[in-house]
């Protein structure tokens, strides 16, 4: 289908959650609170890891990177939504939409890969404890994080360049509170077959691949834990990966739930509300999961607050 009016629009409209003016202050306050909690919580995790030499280990190195990515992830979408509510506007410029989409894909991909890397770290720690420091050396840790960045940047760049080739016509409404890739593609009046194929392949390879690695790692971890003779040893081994397993379940559970709910009820409100779970709620809860279930993090946080008092 050929474009009727223009090939490059000046702006898109983010429909968000509700058009009811009475709900806008409530939505603004709720998301501002969640954003501030997310940033503060993840910053505290990073500061705790940096300030405590005992936490300068591969596991906490990956955790600090995950916290940084979660801050960037929420900062990609929430501030723009808050500005739009304050200005009573739904508009986002064409360049702003493509930029937001690029960074959203980048940080979502990094979350995905870092969770897989952390699963591998727990696999080596529990299944090969005697060789842990030799295998998870600083060079390998840096390479794993660097490869996660490179693949995520290339993935986000590829999708963004593909979207730039599309033409857009009259209907420029996006049934989300941010420029979500599939929503942007579906507003185009061009042939989006290649974009849809690329989206499917990327979801299978870059989404399914890390998830398969996580499941494989935990299958080996469970086998190793079951082989431990003492109940105390089993509990200690499981406690080292309980927080990560909780975050993995939350991230993938909400992510899969979003697309299932969007397919079952593709209305604006339901789609946007479902997306909040993995774009806002998960990054907000991650610091609490790691701090509440981790004595090392709690000790480091107490040290930080003790210094301030």
Q: Name all domains of the chain by residue range, CATH numbers in brackets.
A: 11-294 (1.20.1070.10)
Do 144 and 195 contact (CB within 8 A), yes or no?
A: no
**Apex 146 CA angle, 148 and 300, nearest 5:** 90
Distance CA 228, CA 234 (A): 6
Closest to 268 measured CA to CA, from 9, 131, 90 = 90
Closest to 174 measured CA to CA, from 256, 107, 81, 303 = 81
Closest to 276 measured CA to CA, from 293, 261, 291, 264 = 261
**Apex 14 CA angle, 9 and 20, nearest 5:** 140
Q: Which helix (H) or strand (E) holds 1?
A: none
Distance CA 257, CA 2 (A): 35
Report residue 275 as tokens: 């997306």
- pLDDT score of 221: 92
pLDDT tens for the 309 residues of the chain, in order: 444 445 577 889 998 887 778 888 999 999 999 999 999 999 999 999 999 898 999 999 999 999 999 999 999 999 999 999 999 889 999 999 999 999 999 999 999 999 999 999 999 999 999 999 999 999 999 999 999 999 999 999 999 999 999 998 877 888 889 999 988 998 888 889 999 999 999 989 988 999 999 999 999 999 998 888 888 878 877 887 888 888 898 888 877 776 666 555 555 566 677 788 888 988 999 888 888 777 888 888 888 877 766
- pLDDT score of 244: 87
Report residue 117 as tokens: 């890397």
- pLDDT score of 124: 95
- pLDDT score of 4: 46
Report residue 24 as tokens: 């806008």
Distance CA 152, CA 102 (A): 10
- pLDDT score of 202: 92
Backbone dihedral angles phi then psi of residue 114, each to the nearest 5 degrees: -65, -35
DSSP state of 137: -
In sequence order, what DSSP letters do the residues of 192-253 get, joined into one string? Answer: -HHHHHHHHHHIIIIIHHHHHHHHHHHHHHHHHHHT-SSHHHHHHHHHHHHHHHHHHHHHHH
- pLDDT score of 36: 97
Handedness of CA 231, 240, 219, 286 (dihedral sign): positive
Do 180 and 174 contact (CB within 8 A), yes or no?
A: yes
């Amino acid at each position: 289908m050929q474009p009727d009016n223009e090939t490059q629009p000046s702006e898109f409209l983010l429909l968000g959650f509700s058009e009811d003016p009475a709900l806008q202050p409530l939505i603004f306050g709720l998301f501002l609170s969640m954003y501030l909690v997310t940033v503060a919580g993840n910053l505290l995790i990073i500061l705790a890891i940096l300030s405590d030499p005992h936490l300068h280990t591969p596991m906490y190195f990956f955790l600090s990177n995950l916290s940084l990515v979660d801050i960037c992830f929420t900062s990609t979408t929430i501030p723009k939504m808050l500005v739009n509510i304050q200005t009573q506007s739904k508009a986002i410029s064409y360049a702003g939409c493509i930029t937001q989409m690029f960074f959203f894909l980048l940080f979502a991909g990094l979350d995905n890969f870092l969770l897989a890397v952390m699963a591998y770290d727990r696999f080596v720690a529990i299944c090969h404890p005697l060789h842990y420091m030799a295998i998870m050396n600083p060079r390998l840790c840096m390479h794993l994080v660097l490869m996660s960045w490179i693949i995520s940047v290339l993935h986000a760049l590829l999708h963004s360049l593909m979207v730039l080739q599309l033409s857009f016509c009259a209907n420029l409404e996006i049934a989300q509170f941010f420029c979500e890739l599939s929503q942007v593609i579906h507003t185009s009046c061009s042939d989006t077959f290649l974009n849809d194929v690329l989206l499917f392949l990327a979801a299978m390879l870059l989404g399914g691949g890390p998830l398969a690695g996580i499941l494989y790692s935990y299958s080996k971890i469970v086998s190793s834990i079951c082989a431990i003779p003492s109940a105390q040893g089993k509990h200690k081994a499981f406690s080292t990966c309980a927080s990560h397993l909780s975050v993995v379940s939350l991230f993938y559970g909400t992510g899969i739930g979003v697309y299932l709910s969007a397919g079952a009820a593709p209305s604006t409100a339901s789609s946007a509300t479902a997306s909040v779970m993995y774009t806002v709620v998960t990054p907000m809860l991650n610091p609490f999961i790691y701090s509440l279930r981790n004595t090392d993090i709690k000790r480091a946080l107490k040290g930080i607050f003790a210094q301030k008092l």
